[in-house]
Amino acid sequence: MDLPPLTASTLYLVATPIGNLEDITLRALRVLRECDVVAAEDTRRTGQLLRHFELSKPLLSYFQFNEARRSEEIIERLRRGEKIALVTDAGSPGISDPGERVVKAAIAAGFRVEAVPGACALIAGLTASGLPADEFHFVGFLPHKSGQRRNQLESLKAITGTLIFYESPYRIEKLLGELCEVYPERDVALARELTKKFEEYLRGKPAALLEIAKKRSLKGEFVVMVAGAERGRGKHAPEAEERDILEGQVVD
């Protein structure tokens, strides 16, 4: 099947594997093969990925602290008609990774932005967590400061969808301690080393998971999923609205 060529002056957001290299898509490989330049969060890591698939492309470094300056350069390249593939170290660009500023700049300048979907840790973790996946709220990384973290956790208590966080192995025990205080009765699922050899899911209440974390050295990046607030109890639940209407009719 003949595939259409890449479109000039287009920013392609290419998802890359989060661990298992078999998770690269055929479309991602074609875009990386046919683009003019690859804008990468870490050129060393992306260089290894490209070499694994026997690809050779010019690499342009962009990361959190140079994203504004690089955005201007990327826009100028798009003006020249270049086809640019944007990748992060792992997963989908812009999801708790650099990329959002570049995307906004490209759209504001009138250029085409096309997503090349693939691996995403939050989706992989959620679908195998055993927690409801019909409604979820992705938070990403919580603030490092304890007071700010606690305030954000408190602000999420009324959300009925499954809460999803990213966390490092260095702070997972601290987070579980905070969940014990804020969400002690909620079901929690920890997913670590997703798609890798030592992939593991730990499920239970926060206190039980905290005990495991204290006894074991849990390595790897984590996706932390917390069951949402019980549905049907909020003021805006259908039952509550119907009750309000009936009460209003009685009063009137």
What is the DSSP code string of 121-147? HHHHHHHTTSS--SSEEEEEEPPSSHH
Asked if residue 113 and residue 167 are part of one domain, the reply reads no
Structure confidence at residue 4 (pLDDT): 87
pLDDT tens for residues 6-26? 999 999 999 999 999 999 999
Q: Tell me, rounded to whole angstroms, the distance of Cα 90 from its chain centroid.
A: 10
- Containing 232, the helix (H) or strand (E) segment is none
- For 240, the token pair is 């509550």
Looking at 119, 135, 152, which one is the last position of a domain? 119
Cα 194 to the chain's mean position, in Å? Answer: 13
| Domain carrying residue 112 | 10-119
Q: What angle do CA 194, 196, 197 make, to 5 degrees?
A: 130
Q: What's the CA gap between 70 and 46, in Å, rounded?
A: 17
pLDDT (0 to 100) of residue 109 = 97
The CATH number covering residue 71 comes to 3.40.1010.10
Do 105 and 158 belong together in one domain? no
Give the H/E segment covering residue 102: helix 100-108
- pLDDT for 233 equals 55
Q: For all residues of the chain together, what is the average pLDDT? A: 90
Q: How much is the average pLDDT of 36-44?
A: 95
pLDDT of residue 242: 46
From 119, 154, 175, give the residue that closes a domain.
Answer: 119
Phi, psi of 63 (to 5 degrees): -155, -175
Measured between alpha carbons, how far is 70 from 11 in angstroms, rounded to an integer?
Answer: 13
More confident residue, 242 or 61: 61
Please write the tens of the pLDDT for every residue from 114-138: 999 999 999 999 999 999 999 999 9
pLDDT of 82 strictly over 70: yes
- Give the per-residue pLDDT at 240: 44
Percent of the chain topping pLDDT 70: 90
29 C-beta neighbours (distance < 10 Å), count? 16
pLDDT for the residue 238: 47
Q: Are residues 16 and 76 in the same domain?
A: yes
pLDDT digits (tens, 9 = 90+) for 149-194: 999 999 999 999 999 999 999 999 999 999 999 999 999 999 999 9
For residue 30, what is the enclosing H or E element?
A: helix 26-34
d(CA 113, CA 92): 14
pLDDT of residue 99: 87
pTM: 0.86
Do both 42 and 140 map to the same domain?
no
The answer to whether residues 136 and 106 belong to one domain is: no
Indicate if 133 and 80 belong to the same structural domain: no
State the pLDDT confidence band at 3, using cuts at 50, 70 and 90: confident
- Neighbouring CB atoms inside 10 A of 187's CB total 18
Q: Is pLDDT larger for residue 247 or for residue 109?
A: 109
Contact predicate 174/150, CB 8 Å: no
Query: Both 154 and 187 in a single domain?
Result: yes
Higher pLDDT, 238 or 149: 149
Helix (H, G, I), strand (E, B) or coil at 38: strand
Same domain (yes/no): 16, 77: yes
- CA gap 239, 97 in Å, rounded: 40
In this structure, the answer to whether residues 107 and 81 fall within a common structural domain is yes
Taking alpha carbons only, the member of 51, 55, 47 closest to residue 31 is 55
- Mean pLDDT in residue range 240-251: 41
The answer to whether the CB of 102 falls within 8 A of the CB of 111 is no
Residue 194 lies in a domain: yes
Report how many domains make up the chain: 2
110 and 17 part of one domain: yes
Give the model confidence (pLDDT) of 97-120 as tens digits: 888 889 999 999 999 999 999 999
Identify the band that residue 235 occupies on the pLDDT scale cut at 50, 70 and 90.
Answer: very low
In angstroms, how far is the first alpha carbon of the chain from the final one?
69
